[in-house]
Structure 1
Amino acid sequence: MLKKWAIIGFGTSMIGIGINGFILPFHLINGGFFGVSLLANYLWDLNPGIIFILLNIPVYLFAIKYEPNFFIDGLIGAIVSGVMIQFWLPLGGVFHMPILSSIILGAIIIGIGVGVMLRNHISPGGIDLLALIISKWSKVNVGLIALTIDGMIIISGLLLLKDPKFLYSLVIVTIIGLLISIITSIRKIDISKIK
């Protein structure tokens, strides 16, 4: 249990630092349900907070019925992620870097945080929880699933809003997805078998 909380604390802190310190200062979106919520706001002036909650409900209902452990860990991960994003909010504007350098560093930090959590079957919630469930059933790497979903969200935003800034968001989700794939693919070493 202590290991699980340490992983959640580390992973969500990395997410909070990456988002607040390096991504949000440039007003970019990432993938996931948060990205969909922002698109709905830009297109139809819908409340992004309400849309985010509505999008998450079916995933959590599905998880509680078919993958109860994923549901509990995902709920904890989502709540702690929200708290950590708020906690690290003062980092906004602290780092002064060119946009490309900032988003690459931010995406690496976020990717490590999410990757470590997903490797231990703990999700920050939303799309990551859905990707974790699909990965368990399909045996496809969770990072590849997350990258595919997030890529479709960003490309949709680019096509619908015709804002070139969304290309930077595509870089963010690509780096995060690749890091998740790498981290979740590394084989665990059984120390007991090492002589």
Structure 2
Amino acid sequence: MREILRIVIGNICITSAYAFITVPRHVVNGGVTSFSMILHAFLPVDISVITNCVTVVLLGICLYFLGKAFLMKSLLSSICYMVMFSSFHAIGYSLSIPVLPAIILAAILVGIGYYLCISAGSSTVGFDVLALVLHKRYEKLDVAITMRYINIGVILLGFASYGGISILIGIGFTILQTQVLKLLLQRNEQKIQEASCDEATVSKCIVKS
């Protein structure tokens, strides 16, 4: 239940940031929603529909490369994402604060959201799936940094549609977002290591006694 709650809260953070901050401001941040915004410029299809289609494709990749157990949690995450983003986007609300604080807030929320999902043994069924697949194959690859490069690649695809300023804002957004994720994942890993050390110490004490 704790992991499910983390996944739900994580998706609330991500979808609210996208629906109420980045999408209304046409900020291309490199995620699936941004990729959908880029495709939307060429296709007469609603952004939420494109997002859902891309999500289904990523679920297939998740199943093939990461296995059924990981898929089940990711499936819950994708359902939360599709329902929440479609619902929030339909509201048509935009957070009325200056651009810079809004972008910083959105980046922090998305970074926290990704962390909550990944630390619960799930993906957001965004491009973090690709980063997790690469990390599984090459353990030395940092998940957050890999996501950063993937996101920047997606952002650059939107140059023709959104222009240089939006691209620069998007790159700044993804750097901050992935840095938040990196710090939180490192902190979580440190806690796991400390817990393992504590358990090992207790085991030694029991053996000696």
| C-alpha spacing 1:91/1:52, structure 2 compared with 1 (3 Å) | closer
| Cross-structure match for 1:144 | 145
Structure with larger Rg: 2
1:62-98: CA deviation from partner (whole Å, max 9, x where unpaired) = 32233222222211111112223345455823x4221
1:12-58: CA deviation from partner (whole Å, max 9, x where unpaired) = 1211332233323312232123322322232x335355654554454
What percent of counterpart residues are identical? 20
Give the letter for the 2:9 counterpart: F
| Cross-structure match for 1:81 | 81
Partner Cα separation in structure 2 for residue 58 and residue 22 of structure 1: 26
Q: How far is the alpha carbon of 1:126 from its aligned partner?
A: 2.7
Give the letter for the 2:151 counterpart: D
Give the letter for the 1:38 counterpart: M
Partner Cα separation in structure 1 for residue 88 and residue 196 of structure 2: 36
| Cross-structure match for 1:45 | 43
Q: How far is the alpha carbon of 1:176 from its aligned partner?
A: 1.2
| Cross-structure match for 1:157 | 158
Contact 1:135 1:141 in 2 (8 A): yes
| Cross-structure match for 2:173 | 172
Partner Cα separation in structure 1 for residue 20 and residue 153 of structure 2: 25
Partner Cα separation in structure 1 for residue 53 and residue 131 of structure 2: 18
Number of residues paired by the alignment?
191
Partner Cα separation in structure 2 for residue 86 and residue 38 of structure 1: 14
Report the TM-score when normalising by structure 1. 0.83
| C-alpha spacing 1:38/1:190, structure 2 compared with 1 (3 Å) | same
1:90-131: CA deviation from partner (whole Å, max 9, x where unpaired) = 5823x4221111111111111111112112321110312222
Contact 1:116 1:183 in 2 (8 A): no
| C-alpha spacing 1:56/1:19, structure 2 compared with 1 (3 Å) | closer
Q: Secondary structure of the residue that 2:28 maps to in structure 1?
A: coil
Alignment gaps of 5+ in structure 2: 203-209
| C-alpha spacing 1:23/1:51, structure 2 compared with 1 (3 Å) | closer
Give the letter for the 1:20 counterpart: A
Alignment gaps of 5+ in structure 1: none
Within 5 A, what are the aligned runs for 1:121-132? 121-132=121-132
Partner Cα separation in structure 2 for residue 34 and residue 191 of structure 1: 38
